[in-house]
Structure 1
């Protein structure tokens, strides 16, 4: 018997508009996977839709159907072997024909397909494969018309999108363009074999004391004969075999169990190593090796702790028995044209999170179940994954065929991803319960009859509370399932006492002051955000004409898809900062507001972690962009971190100090200054051991840089592990015309670990000119230099230019006299211009 062989069909493709059947209509496809917009660009038929207004001139593509063709040679087929045509992903309405015969019809982008074509390839020589991709936009509208009784309501895009199992953001979102892709968006190949391993997975039991772990390995086999097979499982660590077991498959399933003594555990970033074991299965018959499959997995436990407490009901993650404050971000697809994303690009995003002390990424439900390389990077770097199912902002229909498709989609993707230790939760949807609330759709939490839910005007409840949890329980039983985000035990989705919440009353909603963000949170804040412009280099990419490079230009507004963004950005700018009309300063000011907003949210919510886990985590909206744009992202499309990235990083350090004066609402008080005000000082720790530290608080005049009274110093402060240490509370007497900052620092064993500077608000009332900044280079190698930063007077938000291939260790820095800071710049070669920088009031 011959072994498993595969032949990737990546070359030799051509495509055409399905309506144009002329021979000259066929155009070459550079490579597959691809989507039609990329192939049109490669043939000079479409301009880059990411530049200028080109998205509008690319809209015609959205309403077309497309045909792809490949002529291939029949591969060698040993006796007893079968040939399968395998698609890992077709986007979306696809009819596949082989030599003119229809062999597959698909309407779900999130599914893989396998077709036995052995008999169809009995003849040697060339064979023609054609795939017709029908227009998803028009098909969705047809489906909507066919189901007039369903309530087609939701946020963002054409409500007809709810009828199609396709990435929902393709219909346009409040941060992304309308780009309806079509094509072979994941790998296509021929597989030739007599037997194969169709699935390999493990189930784990870890002792409470972590002294041993039982690893149960399972393999599902696909065979086409009554041959006797031998399955050999091998368990490895760091490339070294540590155990082996031989199994005889029964009913095409092979099993083995390994006892691992003193296992090396998988931990999130900052808590320990990201140890990955490898399980391999070799399938043999008659002394011949037929197929081998390997997967990496981690030994760990993951719980979501929900228990009654003084704040309501907790919601936080516990990994290997350790409570983890989940500081992190939400993830949207990293490109509107998904096949642009390489494994290297995924890796850079995830590594950037780790550098920023983040520990969780939320894969949002309007995108895709991500590529394997995304989750591999999360496994290896230690970023926990909150994985939404692909339902976003709508009332989804539930006719029988779509329920069947959803069940297949969920089963396929949970099976595909269940070995990744980074995935710690599956979640039913994004904001669909909010749609239910806002539209007044029927939802009676006390009704526990799933069949009755299908008869209501909110039938999607059946998906989130019956279908999906059943799939997770059957397929990945040790992974926690949560019906939606936000969701909390059937209470209103904005209830701050239970479950997770999306807090959008800063920016959206009531547009609260960002200075009070921490008072607006709940048990787990899984969305919140503030917009900021991308860096000038990114704007230079998509704005073609110099005349358009001003803050309110038409093309800049076009590259911001958020409703009312003009008034919202303007509101937060005018409330807080002295505004500007030149683009460079305006970009910077929006970024200052975003950085301050994220800091105020994260700093306060992390402090609440120490109060009986009042806040279990904070996932900002959003980490990334899918095209060059102005959005809530803290890192723009080209992987250029905005100042907010650094602000969040400082707050999420293993040891972080916080100082804050009580908020004085200057707009309500008609800009009258306070006479006195309270302040608080604390230290947050994510470390598992108690520390002794020194804490200092200084009171420094913004006008003169002098200390307005003696510093407060506490020696030998006990810093509690994995919690918050409240240091002191005090009252400030405000001196007329003498605004001052509160500057806090903490040392452990003589090492300065963290700083925080609290400023009087709003910044627009402060004179921040003549700061006396000095930037001194103190060391230099070929690609690394260290800069020392000092100032005569308190300085706000020193931001370094972000340049391709160059990384700075810190940015968006606050400086005070007597506390010089060192910044390391890597990747800047000798002879290259120094990085530019900007600070408030410059």
Structure 2
């Protein structure tokens, strides 16, 4: 505004703080005007009584002050007054205590995957808001389908100038296919007794022919429509417009009693199995009426400093990486933050559904559900992360006071949060906790006797002792919403934190404090011991440890994910700064829409599954199984089988492989598919013997040639690289020292003499220079 005198005498002048981290007092012109104690809420403070005439720009920059309190000290003080378990996170996290006393990102005090940085400050915008009559604070858009029409229910949440009567119109219009626009209107009137806010509802009925459905990534287009909602005051000539993009789709979480579904073919879901007919409840998503296998990952904060995690370039890089490897859902983890508006907008555009963990308490739940509800990407609301199982299994030594904590748990998540969420967004399912038995947990009083019961709801699964490459260790489950294995980041990424060579050992102080898991590196050690020879006195021990840990992580999560897909996150798939780990490259294969997936049984027979996550069938396909020994690029035997699969299915093929007849240390198998209409189905592999025991694997000769032909694409300049080998190469990992680029694929199982690899760089680099910059690593 140009001058404070221009504010109408009856107008509203608010100071709006979208995000304050976390405990502070606020002063304006040296006078106390309010305080904050919740990182996740918007604060709106009437500052008109505190303004001084003739003072303009200094209003914010010179005389507006926030005085922050140390979150560590504040948490400790509150704990002394009202203790709540747990007192502290485990010592190995190298963090701070009593974070549960603050409405703050819980991970900021430390977690098993990240550092403790109890940040303070403004992490979202601050601005002055001026109006005379009314504004639209939030708009929700509820879509449902009846026969040949979409029903759109729009709810506008208005805030008024409490000091005057308000007369006006609320309008809504939506632009549809073929430039067709429809609208509706409602008269709005208030009187002096109104409390300053109101809800107004508008309804539209839209013929299906004007609408294209919004689909998750890999299943269709992400059609979005512009919705304009406006309040027009007939008193003051003011107009306030709210613009949002919405999508039309149905999302249903199906929880049916399997004992009453005789003969039904059970559909699959994210890392799920609904094959336990006669026991438990199903737990899977239908989108637009189709059961969808929810391939995805967990999303933790992109940066320990929340304002940096909201950086648009960071959000784009991470979400585009998720889309590129066929992910269709992300679980926004409850120990982090509600992500930025831009994050959810990009998820809408990219077709990435969101399983949204909530971060408790009344005011912030209402604000954030209202903020996020209109996004078609939001699939599910979940009240908390692991609190149900923590209470039932006495994670925090609460057994003696179990009844007390259960009473408070139900009061918060059931009596307080549940009605808020279901009232504001009745079209989406609210689940009290994750993991949980879903409906069954509710029937058992919201804390199930066994929240990890694999016949119900979702599960979190971790097992670091048994061999993660062995699919037989994994349990069938309805929906695996969290699982994973650790690996270390590459040396190039690690060098951004330390360039002290003495830090590059597992026993260094640096490595000790960077590893927060309670058993330190023991879990990685146990996994590596299953498959690799790694000598502690090898001069390259640390370098090899990093490489082997990434192989182990990629192969373990590949095995687990394919097991779940057949049955129908990790710590990280990516490194800090956006570099892909081997696991993220592997995800392009194990999340591929069409894949031949083997499962080796304990009998040494092998079951073969044809996974089809498309909406169309596979007919007339041919599966080829090539048998290799380790010393030659020429298969020693190839067999072919006919293969068909229904849409959205995991079909066990009538193929019999009996490995017990083979010398397991001398062979491995490659699986491939050719079928009309299937443009891409990556090769898959089965290693019958642990790699440290194989016989015949020898050092290869490897040549890397960069073509002089380049291609300019929207995502960068593409180079074609030929890798030429003379024998089998395992887990070939390419690196380039040229900044600003990445390999489109990596971590290869090389079974052909020549493979072509694409490399993208933001700037042009001479092919000869790129060729000289490439180095590689492989397993031997």
Q: Would you call these one fold, judging by a TM-score over 0.5? A: yes
Q: Is the 8 A contact 1:202 1:215 kept in 2?
A: yes
Question: Which of 614, 617, 623 is matched with 1:690 structurally?
Answer: 617
Deviations 1:287-343 (A, max 9, x none): 834211111111111111112231532111111111111111111111111122312
**Greater alpha carbon shift after TM alignment, 803-812 vs 689-698:** 803-812
Q: Is the 8 A contact 1:773 1:791 kept in 2?
A: yes
Partner of 1:760: 688
1:604 aligns with 2:568: no
1:780 aligns with 2:709: yes
Residues 680, 822 of structure 1: CA spacing in aligned structure 2 closer, same or farther, 3 A cutoff? farther
Question: Which of 120, 127, 131 is matched with 1:193 structurally?
Answer: 131
Question: Which of 102, 120, 124 is matched with 1:164 structurally?
Answer: 102
1:214 aligns with 2:141: no
Deviations 1:83-136 (A, max 9, x none): 100010111111112223222122111111111111221533254222111111
1:314 aligns with 2:314: no
Residues 223, 817 of structure 1: CA spacing in aligned structure 2 closer, same or farther, 3 A cutoff? closer
Deviations 1:612-636 (A, max 9, x none): xxxxxxxx33xxxxxxxxxx21101
1:564, CA displacement in angstroms? 1.7
| Alignment partners' CA distance in 1, 2:293 and 2:420 | 28
Q: Is the 8 A contact 2:733 2:778 kept in 1?
A: no
Partner of 1:461: 410
* Stretches of structure 1 lacking an aligned partner (at least 5 in a row): 8-72, 392-405, 445-451, 610-619, 622-631, 664-675
1:173 aligns with 2:111: yes
Deviations 1:33-66 (A, max 9, x none): xxxxxxxxxxxxxxxxxxxxxxxxxxxxxxxxxx
Partner of 1:798: 732
Q: SS state of the match for residue 753, structure 1?
A: coil
Partner of 2:45: 115
Q: SS state of the match for residue 288, structure 1?
A: coil
Partner of 2:265: none
**Greater alpha carbon shift after TM alignment, 118-127 vs 554-563:** 118-127
Q: Is the 8 A contact 1:90 1:184 kept in 2?
A: yes
Deviations 1:164-219 (A, max 9, x none): 111111111111111111111111100111121122221212236xx320112222
| Alignment partners' CA distance in 1, 2:624 and 2:720 | 26
Q: How does 1:356-367 map to 2 (within 5 A)?
A: 356-367=325-336
| Alignment partners' CA distance in 1, 2:233 and 2:79 | 52
Question: Which of 402, 409, 425 is matched with 2:364 structurally?
Answer: 409
1:713, CA displacement in angstroms? 0.6
Partner of 2:15: 85
Q: Is the 8 A contact 2:606 2:659 kept in 1?
A: yes
Residues 521, 822 of structure 1: CA spacing in aligned structure 2 closer, same or farther, 3 A cutoff? farther
Partner of 1:36: none
Partner of 1:699: 627
Residues 372, 151 of structure 1: CA spacing in aligned structure 2 closer, same or farther, 3 A cutoff? closer
Q: SS state of the match for residue 764, structure 1?
A: helix
1:543 aligns with 2:498: yes
Partner of 2:26: 96
1:681, CA displacement in angstroms? 1.8
**Greater alpha carbon shift after TM alignment, 468-477 vs 279-288:** 279-288
Q: SS state of the match for residue 121, structure 2?
A: coil
Q: Is the 8 A contact 1:364 1:390 kept in 2?
A: no
Q: Is the 8 A contact 1:93 1:106 kept in 2?
A: yes
Residues 110, 569 of structure 1: CA spacing in aligned structure 2 closer, same or farther, 3 A cutoff? same
Q: SS state of the match for residue 534, structure 1?
A: coil
Partner of 1:486: 435
Partner of 2:644: 718
Q: Is the 8 A contact 1:89 1:110 kept in 2?
A: yes
Residues 316, 762 of structure 1: CA spacing in aligned structure 2 closer, same or farther, 3 A cutoff? same
Question: Which of 743, 756, 770 is matched with 1:833 structurally?
Answer: 770
Question: Which of 255, 265, 270 is matched with 2:201 structurally?
Answer: 255
1:380, CA displacement in angstroms? 0.6
1:778, CA displacement in angstroms? 5.7
1:679 aligns with 2:606: yes
Partner of 2:456: 498
1:776, CA displacement in angstroms? 4.8
Deviations 1:464-489 (A, max 9, x none): 22222111111111111111111112
| Alignment partners' CA distance in 2, 1:354 and 1:365 | 22
Q: Is the 8 A contact 2:21 2:121 kept in 1?
A: yes
1:729 aligns with 2:656: yes
Question: Which of 294, 306, 314 is matched with 2:243 structurally?
Answer: 294
Q: SS state of the match for residue 496, structure 2?
A: helix
Q: How does 1:20-35 map to 2 (within 5 A)?
A: none
Partner of 1:533: 488
Partner of 2:675: 748
Q: SS state of the match for residue 681, structure 2?
A: strand
| Alignment partners' CA distance in 2, 1:284 and 1:734 | 80
Q: Is the 8 A contact 2:218 2:326 kept in 1?
A: yes
| Alignment partners' CA distance in 2, 1:183 and 1:712 | 64
1:584 aligns with 2:521: no
Q: How does 1:124-135 map to 2 (within 5 A)?
A: 124-125=54-55, 126-127=58-59, 128-135=63-70
Q: SS state of the match for residue 474, structure 2?
A: helix
Residues 456, 659 of structure 1: CA spacing in aligned structure 2 closer, same or farther, 3 A cutoff? closer
| Alignment partners' CA distance in 2, 1:253 and 1:584 | 60
| Alignment partners' CA distance in 2, 1:453 and 1:477 | 32
Partner of 1:339: 307
Q: Is the 8 A contact 1:453 1:461 kept in 2?
A: no
1:512, CA displacement in angstroms? 5.0
| Alignment partners' CA distance in 1, 2:659 and 2:403 | 60
Q: SS state of the match for residue 451, structure 2?
A: coil
| Alignment partners' CA distance in 2, 1:524 and 1:193 | 48
Q: SS state of the match for residue 544, structure 1?
A: coil
| Alignment partners' CA distance in 1, 2:292 and 2:663 | 44
Q: SS state of the match for residue 20, structure 2?
A: coil
TM-score relative to the length of structure 1: 0.80
Partner of 1:382: 351
| Alignment partners' CA distance in 2, 1:636 and 1:789 | 25
**Greater alpha carbon shift after TM alignment, 182-191 vs 122-131:** 122-131
1:791, CA displacement in angstroms? 4.4
Partner of 1:563: 518
Residues 440, 825 of structure 1: CA spacing in aligned structure 2 closer, same or farther, 3 A cutoff? closer
Q: SS state of the match for residue 429, structure 1?
A: coil
Residues 231, 751 of structure 1: CA spacing in aligned structure 2 closer, same or farther, 3 A cutoff? closer
| Alignment partners' CA distance in 2, 1:348 and 1:239 | 33
| Alignment partners' CA distance in 1, 2:490 and 2:303 | 18
Partner of 2:170: 231
Q: Is the 8 A contact 1:354 1:383 kept in 2?
A: yes
**Greater alpha carbon shift after TM alignment, 784-793 vs 145-154:** 145-154
Residues 80, 518 of structure 1: CA spacing in aligned structure 2 closer, same or farther, 3 A cutoff? farther
**Greater alpha carbon shift after TM alignment, 721-730 vs 319-328:** 721-730
Aligned-residue RMSD, C-alpha: 2.7
Partner of 2:595: 656
| Alignment partners' CA distance in 2, 1:379 and 1:737 | 47
Question: Which of 220, 229, 233 is matched with 1:285 structurally?
Answer: 233
Partner of 2:340: 371
Q: Is the 8 A contact 1:800 1:811 kept in 2?
A: yes
TM-score relative to the length of structure 2: 0.86
| Alignment partners' CA distance in 2, 1:165 and 1:197 | 26
Equivalenced residue count is 711
Partner of 1:394: none
1:280, CA displacement in angstroms? 0.9
1:822 aligns with 2:777: no
Residues 137, 238 of structure 1: CA spacing in aligned structure 2 closer, same or farther, 3 A cutoff? farther
| Alignment partners' CA distance in 2, 1:423 and 1:742 | 41
